[in-house]
Amino acid sequence: MTTIREIMFASPIMPVIVLERIDDAVPLAEALVSGGIRVLEVTMRTPVALDCVRAIRAAVPDAIVGVGTITNIADLNAARAAGAAFGVSPGTTAELLVHAHGSGFPFLPGAMTPSDVMRTLDAGFTAMKLFPARQAGGIDMLKALGGPFPQVLFCPTGGIDGESAATYLALPNVACVGGSWLAPATLIDNQDWDEIRSRAHQAALLARHLNKHN
C-alpha cells in the first residue's frame, strides 16, 4: 500500500497501541491481525516503540504497522528508519508538514479546527486525523467540516469506543477511526491475547465503506 488513503481503508479501526515491553509486540500484533485488524499504530510514547515496530515488521508480515505520536521531523525520520509503513501525528507544524510531504512517506497529520484543516490542505494533504475527536465536537464537528472540506478524509481519534465507532464510520468523510479500546494497557499487561483477538474480530465486523471510495 503506497498511499495513506489506501492504508486508512484497509481496516475500519486503527488501534492506538502503547507498548512497554518488546516481548509483547509480536503476540499483540498476531492477535489483532488474526482478529481482522491489520493496520496498527504503535505510538512513540515509550522507549521501546520503534524496536516493537521492527519486531512486528519481521514477524507479522500481514500487519500494516505505523508509528503514532510523531511530533517533529526527527520522529518521522526515526519511524521511516524503523520500517514503519506510515506515520501519524496528533497535530502539525509547518516544518513537519513540508518534510512529510516531500518525503513521500504515507503520513496522517493531525487536525482539530477548520484552520488546521486549511493549513494541512495547503501543504498537500487531503487525509487527516481529527484529534482529539470527541473534545473537538465528534460527529457534529465532522459533519460541519464536510461542508467546506468535502475532499478531506478523516480518521477521528480520541474518546471513541466500541459503542460509538460505528456512528463515526457511517459518515461519508470518515474512512476509519482510531482508538485504544482494542488493546488497552490492562489487557496487554495481562497478555490477554484472546480477549484482544475477540475485540479485533468484533471491530472488523463494523459496517463501513458504504458509498465510500479510497
Give the other-Cβ count within 10 Å of 190's Cβ: 10
Question: How many angstroms separate the CA atoms of 42 and 63, rounded?
Answer: 12
User: Residues 7, 85: contact at Cβ < 8 Å?
Assistant: yes
What is the distance between the terminal CA atoms of the chain, rounded to a whole angstrom? Answer: 12
Extract the runs of DSSP E, i.e. beta strands, from the chain. Answer: 13-17, 39-43, 64-68, 87-88, 107-108, 110-111, 127-130, 153-154, 177-179
With 0-12 / 13-18 / 19 or more C-beta atoms within 10 angstroms meaning exposed / middle / buried, residue 83 is: middle
Q: Give the span between the Cα atoms of 137 and 65, in whole angstroms.
A: 28
C-alpha cell recorded at residue 203: 471491530
Catalytic residue among 6, 20, 41, 195: 41
Q: 193-204 vs 25-34: helix axis angle to the nearest 10?
A: 40
Is 129 tagged catalytic?
A: yes
Catalytic pick among 30, 95, 129, 195: 129
Rg of the Cα atoms in the chain: 16
Residues with catalytic annotation? 41, 129
